[in-house]
């Protein structure tokens, strides 16, 4: 979702902004813009619809500047257009603003305060910059004008504001949307994600909600909304810039699919000691042990990973688990158990739907754990406990290795909790051995790319729709595999509980409809095969993906057998590759599917 980069004091602000915005491309966007100024130059505002390369092509040669703000926009208010792209400028030409988030009362504020101002865009952001200019015209300092806007607006924002008449300063404010301060040598900068500036510094400062920052090249002044100065130490982000490199791969998604066995091995070396014991923080295990029900609250792929995680905690630790969509849970909260604990699986750690749940349950003084790929993220910082996924930066919008890391980390935590509780099931499970088998199985599957690509040619190259079916854990994988297919190939794909087809959905099956049956559970394998057969009898083009222990001679794809609780980790790999090649064969941008954002920072 929207990406922000800003810098003050740099020798070449244009270069900082462009390289930073390129690093944020993965978040998803539909237009981009920069504003650059310096003591000796003239202020330049350039905005373009589409990719950053369009913006780059429009930048005058030699534009450097020492002060700049840049933005990639993912449309919320108003269509993608140059007028709606950021930075937005006040009518007097003095103030330039970039914004990530949604101001829900912008229309009302425009009616109340800006009746005499002609707005040139459909955005809430323009309202904010016009308000700042108005308050300055009315006599406020720039900082006070920004603070006044923070007091007036409702909703979420990360703001970066440049004043044409003061090239030595940037003004920054944050509420609910992510924004970090980066401390440089001779410059200071800001970004939505540390990744944008890792080639320039590893030294970052987090911001809390409703904080305002005045930034110069050698000073960082943070205040809260009441004006009290906030002292905050910086921290080091030690992800190397190279971790996000594409290398020889055509797309990040393929690279990230291939990295999955290595992610599992990294998790084992991070969480399992030389004696094969899973090491988790003792206070976390104690808190989990005190819970009578675990509530997993997540979104999208992370929701599907939560579904796969639930049986692990139930079977290994004997604790009941509920899994919920974050976007629903906060507003339609079920009756909670007496001692609930909340677990948030989230790749980015910035998902707004999850954060509103976290904020709510914190006010209820209930314990929380975030399991995330970004240890410095908002959700990691704000939960009582945080565990890292150790997956390395995931750049493709379609999540793959983060899913693997979420499911594997959940397995490690469930095992640790089971051992803490002393359950027989946990004692029996050699998790290091079983996850090592999974890593090998994943390697076998990623090595079968060509064969999986051929299956796409036979089944998915031109179809408009497709079904994944399965039961139990296979159903959860069906949901995730279908999500992968729809988000990057735009095939209308459904993950379906195999037994439910005959209760209505089988009406959609016609000659040639692709149905992919997932079969890994000995208890229900025969039933799922029968359900697949029912679709075949009505013309469906069925692909059977079965684990080796349950495979039949005609099955099109056989997945190595792994421990039953860990099967999603193996079974999902063909689903990821089928989606990848379906997208590739249709000529789409695999890593940056239309309409989607990697980090979903609005509700």
Asked if 300 is part of the footprint of ligand AGP (rule: CB under 6 A), the reply reads yes
DSSP state of 223: E
**Minimum separation from the CB atom of position 276 to ligand AGP (A):** 29
User: What character string, x for contact with ligand AGP (CB under 6 A) and - otherwise, covers 480-519?
Assistant: -------x--------------------------------
Of residues 111-170, which lie at the interface with ligand AGP (CB under 6 A)? none
CB 532 to ligand AGP: min, Å: 26
Q: Does 398 bind ligand AGP (CB under 6 A)?
A: yes
Q: Which stretch binds ligand AGP (CB under 6 A): 156-164, 187-195, 299-307, 536-544?
A: 299-307
Site string (355-394) toward ligand AGP, x via CB under 6 A: ----------------------------------------
272 belongs to the binding site for ligand AGP (CB under 6 A) = no
Task: Give bridge partners of residue 468 from the DSSP assignment.
Answer: 495, 516
CB nearer to ligand AGP: give 33 or 575. Answer: 575
In the bound state with ligand AGP, the residue whose beta carbon lies nearer, of 128 and 397, is 397
Cβ(349)–Cβ(373) under 8 Å? yes
**Exactly one of 134, 176, 217, 598 is catalytic; which is it?**
598
Residue (187 or 580) nearer to ligand AGP, CB: 580
Find the catalytic residue in 2, 134, 143, 432. Answer: 2
Cα separation of 356 and 341, whole Å?
Answer: 16
Select from 289, 252, 544 the least CA-distant residue to 418: 289
Cis peptide before 87 (omega within 30 of 0): yes
Size (the chain), residues? 603
Considering the complex, state which of residue 299 and residue 565 has its C-beta at the smaller distance from ligand AGP: 299
Long-range contacts at 335-340 (CB < 8 A, ≥ 24 apart): 336/293, 336/295, 336/366, 337/292, 337/293, 338/292, 339/290, 339/291, 339/292, 339/293, 340/291, 340/292, 340/293, 340/294, 340/295, 340/366
Identify the bridge partners of residue 322 per DSSP, sorted by sequence position.
295
Greatest Cα pair distance, the chain, in angstroms, is: 81
Q: Does 17 bind ligand AGP (CB under 6 A)?
A: no
- Per-residue DSSP letter, 229: B
- Which residue's CB is nearer to ligand AGP, number 399 or number 489? 399
Answer for which of 36, 160, 182, 397 binds ligand AGP (CB under 6 A) is 397
The distance from CA 19 to its chain's CA centroid, rounded to whole angstroms, is: 21
Rounded Cα distance between 325 and 298, Å, is 5
Smallest distance, Å, CB 446 to ligand AGP?
18
Q: What is the per-residue burial (b if ≥16 Cβ within 10 Å, else e) of 565-602?
A: bbbbbbbbbbbbbbbbbbbbebeeebbbbeebbbbbbb
d(CA 396, CA 254): 9
Interface pick for ligand AGP out of 278, 405, 491, 600 (rule CB under 6 A): 600
Told to check if 301 binds ligand AGP by CB under 6 A, we report: yes
Query: C-alpha dihedral over 376, 380, 383, 387, to 10 degrees?
Result: -120
Q: With binding defined as CB under 6 A, does residue 579 bind ligand AGP?
A: no
Our CB check for ligand AGP shows the closer of 70 and 300 to be: 300
Q: Interface residues for ligand AGP in 339-358 (CB under 6 A)?
A: 346-348, 351, 354
Instruction: Determine which residue in the list 84, 100, 123, 302 makes contact with ligand AGP, applying CB under 6 A.
Output: 302
Question: Beta-carbon neighbour count of residue 300 at 10 Å?
Answer: 22
Determine whether 598 is an active site residue. Answer: yes
Residue 427 falls in the annotated catalytic set: no
Size of the residue set binding ligand AGP (CB under 6 A): 14
CA 461 to each of CA 93, 369, 509, 582: distance values in angstroms, whole numbers, following the listed order? 51, 41, 18, 6
**Of 354 and 519, CB closest to ligand AGP:** 354
What residues line the site for ligand AGP (CB under 6 A)?
299-302, 346-348, 351, 354, 397-399, 487, 600
Q: Any idea which residues carry the catalytic annotation?
A: 2, 598
């Amino acid at each position: 979702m929207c990406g922000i980069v800003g810098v003050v004091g740099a020798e070449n602000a244009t270069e900082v902004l462009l390289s930073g915005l390129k690093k944020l491309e993965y978040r998803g966007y539909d237009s981009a813009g920069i504003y650059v100024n310096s003591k000796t130059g003239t202020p330049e505002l350039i905005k373009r619809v589409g990719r950053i390369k369009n913006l780059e092509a429009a930048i005058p040669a030699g534009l450097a500047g020492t002060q700049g703000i840049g933005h990639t926009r993912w449309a919320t208010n108003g269509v993608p257009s140059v007028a709606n792209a950021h930075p937005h400028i006040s009518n007097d030409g003095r103030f330039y603003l970039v914004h990530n988030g949604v101001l829900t009362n912008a229309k009302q504020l425009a009616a109340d305060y800006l009746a005499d101002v002609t707005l040139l865009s459909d955005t809430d952001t323009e309202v904010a910059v016009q308000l700042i200019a108005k308050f300055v015209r009315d006599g406020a300092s720039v900082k006070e004008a920004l603070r006044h806007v923070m007091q007036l607006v409702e909703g979420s924002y990360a703001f970066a504001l440049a004043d044409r008449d003061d090239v030595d300063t940037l003004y920054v404010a944050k509420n609910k949307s992510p924004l970090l301060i980066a401390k440089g040598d001779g410059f200071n900068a800001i970004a939505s994600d540390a990744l944008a500036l890792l080639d320039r510094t590893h030294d970052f400062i987090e911001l809390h909600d409703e904080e305002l920052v005045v930034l110069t090249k050698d000073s960082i002044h943070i205040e809260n909304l009441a004006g009290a100065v906030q002292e905050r130490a910086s921290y080091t982000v030690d992800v190397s810039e190279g971790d996000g490199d594409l290398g020889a791969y055509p797309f990040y998604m393929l690279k990230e699919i291939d990295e999955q066995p290595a992610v599992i091995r990294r998790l084992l070396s991070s969480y399992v000691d030389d004696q094969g014991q899973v090491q988790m923080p003792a206070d976390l295990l104690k808190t989990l042990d005190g819970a009578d029900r675990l509530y997993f609250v997540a979104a999208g792929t992370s929701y599907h990973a939560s579904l796969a995680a639930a049986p692990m905690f139930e079977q290994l630790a004997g604790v009941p688990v509920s899994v919920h969509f974050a976007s629903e849970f906060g507003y339609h909260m079920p009756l909670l158990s007496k001692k609930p604990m909340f677990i948030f699986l989230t790749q980015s750690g910035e998902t707004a739907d999850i954060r509103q749940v976290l904020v709510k349950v914190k006010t209820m003084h209930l314990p929380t754990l975030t399991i995330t790929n970004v240890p410095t993220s908002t959700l990691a910082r704000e939960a009582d406990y945080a565990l890292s996924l150790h997956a390395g930066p995931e750049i493709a919008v379609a999540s793959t290795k983060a899913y693997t890391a979420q499911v594997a980390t959940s397995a490690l935590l469930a095992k640790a909790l089971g051992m803490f509780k002393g359950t027989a099931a946990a004692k029996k499970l050699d998790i290091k051995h079983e996850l090592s088998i999974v890593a090998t199985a994943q390697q076998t599957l990623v090595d079968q790319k060509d064969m999986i690509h051929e299956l796409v040619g036979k089944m998915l190259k031109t179809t408009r729709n497709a079904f994944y079916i399965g039961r139990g854990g296979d159903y959860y994988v069906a949901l995730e595999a279908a999500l992968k297919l729809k988000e990057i190939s735009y095939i209308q794909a459904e993950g379906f509980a195999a037994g439910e087809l005959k209760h209505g959905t089988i009406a959609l099956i016609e000659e040639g409809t692709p149905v992919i049956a997932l079969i890994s559970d000995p208890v229900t394998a025969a039933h799922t095969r029968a359900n697949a057969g029912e679709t075949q009898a009505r013309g469906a083009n069925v692909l059977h993906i079965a684990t080796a222990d349950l495979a039949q001679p005609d099955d099109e794809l056989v997945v190595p057998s792994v421990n039953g609780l860990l099967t999603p980790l193996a079974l999902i790999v063909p689903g990821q590759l089928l989606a990848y090649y379906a997208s590739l064969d249709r000529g789409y941008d695999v890593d940056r599917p239309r309409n989607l954002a990697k980090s979903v920072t609005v509700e």
